[in-house]
Each structure stands twice: as structure tokens, then as C-alpha cells.
Amino acid sequence: MILTGPQIARERENQRLVLEPFDPARVQPNSYDLALGPTLAYYTGEVLDTRQANAFAEVEIPDEGFVLEPDRIYLGSSVERLGSEHLVPIIRSRSAAARLGLFVHVTADLIDIGSIGQTTFQFHAVQPVRVHAGDCLAQVTFWRPRGRIVLYDGKYQNSRGPQPSQIHLDAVGAGR
Amino acid sequence: MILTGPQIARERENQRLVLEPFDPARVQPNSYDLALGPTLAYYTGEVLDTRQANAFAEVEIPDEGFVLEPDRIYLGSSVERLGSEHLVPIIRSRSAAARLGLFVHVTADLIDIGSIGQTTFQFHAVQPVRVHAGDCLAQVTFWRPRGRIVLYDGKYQNSRGPQPSQIHLDAVGAGR
Amino acid sequence: MILTGPQIARERENQRLVLEPFDPARVQPNSYDLALGPTLAYYTGEVLDTRQANAFAEVEIPDEGFVLEPDRIYLGSSVERLGSEHLVPIIRSRSAAARLGLFVHVTADLIDIGSIGQTTFQFHAVQPVRVHAGDCLAQVTFWRPRGRIVLYDGKYQNSRGPQPSQIHLDAVGAGR
């Protein structure tokens, strides 16, 4: 079951989920709006590879905003620190951002239960689109799980700012 | 919990959700197929901005269909009027459309509980693809919420046809 | 409700879902990782059409990997045979793949209840990205349904390898 907005606020009060900072005006009927943090990351190479380290650079969004170009993937992060040991967060776009052709994730919308931190967005712009730090582009929903819970215990715990892919490390280990 | 197709039909009979017009042949195992309405909208500028009004134009889909180009975001709408005050609708593509490389939303798949109207699709084509009015490109699923319900009370209520983004109005108000 | 990883393993043991082959190391907090099979399919024409058959070709991924280009939609499939007559599978990307700008579906993430087979991925790369057979790019989640179940009985049952779109057959029949 998907939590209603009032239930998100209530579970937060009961410390069953983390959402900081929290502004009651951003509670929606079934979600909570997330703001864009000040830093973007992008890869400096043109061809990426699942089995190589992919070099990247970071940029601070200037006051006049930053134009996301269609031929490049950008990583950003939420201002908010969020997660839960009891509920499963799923990220989606606010419809106002999506109607400008801005993807806020690239089919990786699920946050593992127990993973707490600033969420990494995967931005893809269909047409060039200028974004500004603090824009509410995304939202988070929360879902009730069924079954025994084993908390996330991975390398992105307590992440701050955008986190590039570590997929090349998979090939070293047991296939993931 | 996600409703099964037979349960979608039943909740509609009990007036717990709106789905008009309704064709029993379009009930799927866990969803209902949606048809494409006759009008598309697109932005006339090349660079869009989250804090400016973005001018747009509308086009009627001709009898021979309309080719969606990869470098542009298009907005369309469902023929069907849909929504619910008790359940949460979530939009997705029919797999037959997705296998042609046609996105029907841009990570904004959630419809607020209480929002009733023709749904705005966000179309992005990976390769050029010709679409036709009446094509069943999308489907809607319905999900049970948990918690106190506060119904949607926003500017898109009872919308008809594709609705462009109003995100630039956020900057004026309280940050959304 | 979304199943936890341990619950996915348990429901599989109780034969309530199919996931073969199965590796306990790929169980995540709320999902199971899926590996990429050896074959990719793509359309040979430039402009696709919802009401025409769209010719396609297949390619085996060579040992050095295969570069997915941004201007083309590719279909792939999971190594795993999966599905359920009791639960609804939904596909998403592993975040490590998404952070390279690789979509694993094109808004068609839902698998009909009762549909069992190798899952067809819809790949779209924002930048060129080299993939390798056996890469864990996607994951599957399982959701509890509500209502009477009518099992999938369609043309993709028991599919093996990537399955191109059959959407042009819709126009012949009753609209789907």
C-alpha cells in the first residue's frame, strides 16, 4: 500500500521514516516534494562502460541556473536526507518537471529499505532545460513492505551529493 | 496492493473509481488500456526553463498519423476521463508501445488521489515513431492507499486535452 | 505491498513465484537482480509505426561487449525465467546501471500476473554505453494483488530472448 500524504507526515513524527528538512507545505496527496541540491555530476568520457571506471566531474549550479543538455546524463541529489527502516521509498518526477521533458531517474526509482541519505537523481533532458538549485523537480512516495526486513548495508549509506555509478566493481566480485 | 483487472471493473461499478468510456475488452490482468486522444502539444522554444513560461503549440493528429521526433517532448492526453477518491492511479506504457521505444511518461506516473480528468501523457520517442489517434499506447493501474485521505485540489482538476507545465508559477509562491 | 528480499526467496521456495536460475547472493532488500542474456534485437528501419510491422534484426553480444547507441531502441532479455500466478512482478533498473544513463525499460515495467518467461528489456542509452552479457543491469520486485485473478493468456507466454513489438496487430482486431 502507498502512504497518503498525511500518513507520510505521521510516520515521520513517529520516527518511522527520515525526511529532513521537512516543510508541511510540500506534503502532496500521496507524496512529498523534494528540492534539487546545488551540485551536479557528469561523466567526462563520451562512451561509458559497465566494466570500467567512468571518470566524472562536478559542477555547482550558478545563480542563473544550469542548462541540462539532451546528449548527456547528469547526476544530482536531493537537498533532503531521506529513507526508512520500515517503509520502501520510491522516487518519481513532479508532473510539472516531467511536462518539460525532464526525467529525474532512469528506471532506478526504488530506494532500498534501510538506506538513508541524500537521494541521487539521474537527470535526462529530452530538450535542453534550465534548472535551478532549490527547484522541486521530484517527489518521494512510501510503500509498506511484506516479509522479514533485512536492512540495506551498502556503499552508498549516508551519501551526500550525487554519487556516480560503481557498477565496474561488480565484475571484480561475485557478479554484482 | 495493486488491483487486478476484474477488481478494477468491480470498483468502477461500485463508483469507487472513474474510467469513462469503459470497454470490458480493455481490462488486462492488472490494468486497463488507455487510448490516445486527437490532440498533441509541444513547446515552440528550443531551450526550456523551470522558471519561465514556456510557449507551446497544439496540433491535431491527421488521419495518416503523426511522427513523434526524438529531439522534442510531446504532450498528449487520454480519451478516457479517469481518477479516484479512494485509490491511487499510476500510468505506464503498454509493452507493445514501449518495445517501439515510445515513453508515455517522463517519470511522472502518479495521479493524485482525487484528481479526475483526461490524463496528460508525456511522450518521448527514442526513434521517430508514427502514432495514430485512438492507439492504445498506455495503461492505468490502481493502488490501495494507507492513511487519511486529503483529496487533490489543484489547477489541473477536470482537465481536458494535454496540459503543458505550469512549473514557472512555483517560483512566485511558496516554493512549489 | 512490496515483498522484501527474504520474502521473495520464501515465496519462491513455496512455488508461488518462478525465478530460475536463482542465486541467493542476488537477493536485495526489496528486489532480485536480473542478468542480461546474450542476444539483442533492434529495428532495421529508421521510422517506426504503430500500425505497420517493423522489421528487426538480432545480434549476439561479443566477448568485448556491445555499445548501445543513443539514437536507437534495443530489446534484450533476462537470463532468468520469471513470473507468478499469485504476485505481480515489476521491473526496474539497478541504480548502478541507471547512473550510467541506461534505461532498462521504456515505461513498460509491469509483468502481467500469470505471464512466465524471460523478460524483454527495452534499452535506451542516454550516452553510448558498452554492455556485456551477464551484466546485472535490472532487478525485479514483486507486489501483492487485490481482487479476483485472471491469468495472462497472451502471445508472449513462455517467451525466450527479446520479443519485438506486435502492436500493429492491434489495428486488425478489437483495438488492442
Q: What is the mean pLDDT of residues B8-31?
A: 98
Q: How far apart are CA C171 and CA C173, in angstroms?
A: 6
User: pLDDT tens string for chain C (176 positions)?
Assistant: 999 999 999 999 999 999 999 999 999 999 999 999 999 999 999 899 999 999 999 999 999 999 999 999 999 999 999 999 999 999 999 999 999 999 999 999 999 999 999 999 999 999 999 999 999 999 999 999 999 999 988 878 888 999 999 888 886 543 33
Distance (Å) from the alpha carbon of B41 to chain C's nearest alpha carbon: 19
Q: DSSP 3-state assignment of B97? A: helix
Using the Cβ of A79 and the Cβ atoms of chain B, whether some distance falls under 8 Å is answered with: no
Query: pLDDT tens digit string along B36-92?
Result: 999 999 999 989 999 999 999 999 999 999 999 999 999 999 999 999 999 999 999
Using the Cβ of B56 and the Cβ atoms of chain A, whether some distance falls under 8 Å is answered with: no
- C108 grid coordinates: 513498460
Q: How far apart are CA A113 and CA A150, in angstroms?
A: 8
Q: Which of B40, B16, B47, B52 is nearest to B129 (CA)?
A: B40
Q: How far apart are CA A104 and CA A124, in angstroms?
A: 7
Cβ of B6 within 8 Å of Cβ of C148? The answer is yes
Q: List, in order of start, the domains of chain A with CATH numbers.
A: 5-173 (2.70.40.10)
Residues of A in contact with C35 (CB under 8 A): 175
Distance (Å) from the alpha carbon of A44 to chain B's nearest alpha carbon: 22
Q: How far apart are CA C7 and CA B53, in angstroms?
A: 48
Q: How far apart are CA B86 and CA A1, in angstroms?
A: 12
Q: Which partners does chain B have (≥3 C-beta pairs < 8 Å)?
A: A, C
Owner of C-alpha cell 533532503: A80
Q: How far apart are CA B85 and CA C85, in angstroms?
A: 29
CB-based contacts of B66: which residues, under 8 Å, 6+ apart?
A: B40, B59, B130, B131, B132
Cβ of A175 within 8 Å of Cβ of C136? The answer is yes
Q: How far apart are CA A43 and CA B140, in angstroms?
A: 36
At residue A176, does pLDDT exceed 50? Answer: no
Q: Which of B148, B134, B141, B27 is nearest to B78 (CA)?
A: B134
In this prediction, residue C175 carries a pLDDT of 39
- B119 or A154, greater pLDDT: B119
Residues of C in contact with B4 (CB under 8 A): 113, 145-150
Q: How far apart are CA C36 and CA C142, in angstroms?
A: 19
At residue A157 the predicted structure's pLDDT band, cuts being 50, 70 and 90, is: confident
Q: How far apart are CA C22 and CA C24, in angstroms?
A: 7
Using the Cβ of A147 and the Cβ atoms of chain C, whether some distance falls under 8 Å is answered with: yes
Instruction: Please state, as a whole number, how many other Cβ atoms lie within 10 Å of the Cβ of residue B53.
Output: 12
Task: Report which DSSP code applies to A86.
Answer: S
Proportion of chain A above pLDDT 90, given as a percent: 89
Owner of C-alpha cell 518526477: A93
Distance (Å) from the alpha carbon of C82 to chain B's nearest alpha carbon: 17
Q: DSSP 3-state assignment of B135? A: coil
Residues of C in contact with B97 (CB under 8 A): 50, 108, 165, 167
Cβ of B150 within 8 Å of Cβ of A30? The answer is no
Q: DSSP 3-state assignment of C19? A: strand
Distance (Å) from the alpha carbon of C9 to chain A's nearest alpha carbon: 10
3-state SS track over A91-160: EEECHHHHCCCEECCCCCCECCCCCCEEEEEEEEECCCEEECCCCEEEEEEEECEECCCCCCCCCCCCCC
Whether the ipTM is more than 0.85: the answer is: yes
Residues of B in contact with A137 (CB under 8 A): 50
In angstroms, the Cα distances linking C141 to B95, B141, C30 are 17, 16, 7
Q: How far apart are CA A162 and CA C167, in angstroms?
A: 39
Instruction: Please state, as a whole number, how many other Cβ atoms lie within 10 Å of the Cβ of residue C146.
Output: 17
At residue A172, does pLDDT exceed 70? Answer: no
Q: How far apart are CA C76 and CA A28, in angstroms?
A: 37
In this prediction, residue B154 carries a pLDDT of 83
Residues of A in contact with B122 (CB under 8 A): 98-99, 101
Using the Cβ of C122 and the Cβ atoms of chain B, whether some distance falls under 8 Å is answered with: yes
Rounded to 5°, the CA angle C12-C16-C18 comes to 60
Predicted structure pTM score: 0.95
What is the rounded average pLDDT for all residues in chain B? 94
- A112 grid coordinates: 532500498
Cβ of A29 within 8 Å of Cβ of B149? The answer is yes
Distance (Å) from the alpha carbon of A134 to chain B's nearest alpha carbon: 8
Distance (Å) from the alpha carbon of A85 to chain B's nearest alpha carbon: 18
Q: Which of B99, A18, A153 is nearest to C168 (CA)?
A: B99
Query: pLDDT tens digit string along A3-54?
Result: 999 999 999 999 999 999 999 999 999 999 999 999 999 999 989 999 999 9
In this prediction, residue B176 carries a pLDDT of 37
Residues of C in contact with A114 (CB under 8 A): 29
Residues of A in contact with C17 (CB under 8 A): none
Q: Between residues 57 and 76 of chain C, which touch chain A (CB distance below 8 Å)? A: 65, 67, 70
Cβ of A50 within 8 Å of Cβ of C97? The answer is yes
Residue type at B38 in one-letter notation: P
At residue B157, does pLDDT exceed 90? Answer: no
At residue A171, does pLDDT exceed 90? Answer: no
Measured between CB atoms, which of A4, A94, A103 is closest to B145?
A4
In this prediction, residue A174 carries a pLDDT of 37
Residue type at B127 in one-letter notation: Q
Q: How far apart are CA B173 and CA C63, in angstroms?
A: 55
Residues of B in contact with A80 (CB under 8 A): none
In this prediction, residue A158 carries a pLDDT of 86
